[in-house]
Amino acid sequence: MKKQAMLWTLCAVALFMFALPAAATDYVGSDQCFSCHEGKFNDWQASGHPWKLRKMEKARYSKLPLPPGYSWDDISYVIGGANKKARFIDNDGYIVTTAKDGSEAKTQYNLQDGSWSFYHKGEKKPYKCGPCHMTNYSKDGNQDGKPGMIGTWSEDGIGCEECHGAGGDHIRKPSKENIAIQSSAESCGKCHQRGGMGPEPPAKGGFIRHHEQINELKAGVHKELDCITCHDPHKRAILAKDNCAKCHADVAKTYAENIHGKQGTRCVECHMPKASKSAIKVASYTGDVRTHLFKINTDKDADMFKTIEENGKKSTFAKGFVTVEYACLSCHASRDKAWAAKKAKKFHK
101 forms beta bridges with none
pTM score: 0.88
79: enclosing H helix or E strand: strand 75-80
Could you give the CA distance from residue 15 to residue 346 in angstroms, rounded to a whole number? 76
* DSSP code string of 200-256: --EEETTEEESS-HHHHHHHSTTTT--GGGT--TTS-GGG----HHHH-HHHHHHHT
pLDDT of 19 > 50? The answer is no
pLDDT in tens, 235-278: 999 999 999 999 999 999 999 999 999 999 999 999 999 999 99
Could you give the CA distance from residue 135 to residue 159 in angstroms, rounded to a whole number? 6
Domain borders along the chain are 30-160, 187-344
Alpha-helical regions (H) of 33-172: 38-47, 56-59, 160-164, 168-172
Mean pLDDT of 200-215: 95
Give 295's contacts (C-beta < 8 A, 6+ positions apart).
220, 221, 271, 320, 321, 322
Give 335's contacts (C-beta < 8 A, 6+ positions apart).
328, 329
**Which of 163, 166, 149 is CA-nearest to residue 29?**
166
Mean pLDDT over the full length of the chain: 92
